[in-house]
Amino acid sequence: MTDMALPKISVRGLRKSFGRNRVLDNLDIDCATGESLVIIGGSGTGKSVLVKCILGLLQPEAGSIRIDGVETTGLRRAARESLMQKFGMLFQGSALFDSLRVWENVAFGLIQGRGMERKEAEKIALAKLAAVGLGPEVGELRPAELSGGMQKRVALARAIAAEPEIIFFDEPTTGLDPIMGDVINDLIVKSVREVGATAVSITHDMASARKIADRIAMLHGGRIVWIGSATEIDCSGNPYVDQFINGRADGPIQMQIRAA
């Protein structure tokens, strides 16, 4: 159900450097409404930087980022806060608030961001926790009392709690065992479908990418070097993609390994 006539997210000519290191270099990419786009690439290629630029957490040096056709670079603080209501984000390390209970973490965006009553927000939070397979007793715990897999589920529940239009997943399965990784992948697919959201995920876990993606884009050298449907990735004919998905050390992607 994708509509590329007006992409949900449209990025053009995006540039971002850290010191002399240019991480994103005239990057272009579109994501259609309702699409699940997965961006793959090696460590340090700028996948997280791209997502943080789209979210407005980092300021790009040049380029355009449009959400629903509206330019979002250089938005003022109040307009940015309002735009954020369209977004949900699952962080790589879950980024749960240590000082709050689990249900308060899930309900945070509803209470603080949207001014919802705590009682009502708690009901929604418990429903979202149930949707990711966690009972109400978990809601009373602190994040530090949960395992890594449970923390990821809570973070997923928080990302979908306000039923955002666009959900970002940053390395959703990193650090999890393969079974828990697959559970999280299933939950992502189910949650995104239920909410009817557009999803942008970044990962270097190919099993995860194949499971959750409608389209996959490969980021290398600050640009998208290949983009296509998830079913085409094994016959992409792109040497970067072939090397990456087969996990070969030899190929056009050279890892920078320096002798100590």
Instruction: Provide the minimum distance between the beta carbon of 121 and another protein in the complex, in angstroms, as a whole number.
Output: 12
Place of tokens 């040497």: 239
Give the distance from CA 161 to its chain's centroid.
15
Q: In the complex with another protein, which residue's Cβ is closer, 106 or 241?
A: 106
Strand partners, 39: 202, 217
Short-list 185, 195, 210, CA closest to 158: 195
Q: In the complex with another protein, which residue's Cβ is closer, 21 or 82?
A: 82
Instruction: Provide the minimum distance between the beta carbon of 198 and another protein in the complex, in angstroms, as a whole number.
Output: 15
Identify residue 81 by its one-letter amino acid code. Answer: E
Q: In the complex with another protein, which residue's Cβ is closer, 47 or 158?
A: 158
Instruction: Provide the minimum distance between the beta carbon of 235 and another protein in the complex, in angstroms, as a whole number.
Output: 36
Instruction: Provide the minimum distance between the beta carbon of 87 and another protein in the complex, in angstroms, as a whole number.
Output: 6
Cβ burial, residue 15 (10 Å; 0-12/13-18/19+): middle
Q: In the complex with another protein, which residue's Cβ is closer, 85 or 229?
A: 85
Short-list 82, 70, 64, 56, CA closest to 6: 70
Instruction: Provide the minimum distance between the beta carbon of 245 and another protein in the complex, in angstroms, as a whole number.
Output: 28
Strands (E), the chain: 9-18, 21-31, 36-40, 62-67, 70-71, 87-90, 166-170, 198-203, 215-220, 223-229
Q: In the complex with another protein, which residue's Cβ is closer, 43 or 254?
A: 43
Instruction: Provide the minimum distance between the beta carbon of 181 and another protein in the complex, in angstroms, as a whole number.
Output: 20
Per-residue tokens: 79: 């307009």
C-alpha 10/C-alpha 35 separation (Å) is 13
Residues that bind another protein (CB under 8 A): 52, 55-57, 77, 81-82, 84-85, 87-89, 91-93, 95-98, 108-109, 112-115, 158, 162
- C-alpha distances in Å from residue 236, one per residue of 5, 201, 203, 218, 244: 25, 20, 18, 11, 12
Instruction: Provide the minimum distance between the beta carbon of 65 and another protein in the complex, in angstroms, as a whole number.
Output: 15
Q: In the complex with another protein, which residue's Cβ is closer, 13 or 93?
A: 93
Where b means 16+ CB within 10 Å and e means fewer, 149-187 reads bbbbbbbbbbbbbbebbbbbbbbbbeebeeebbebbbeb
Q: In the complex with another protein, which residue's Cβ is closer, 98 or 250?
A: 98
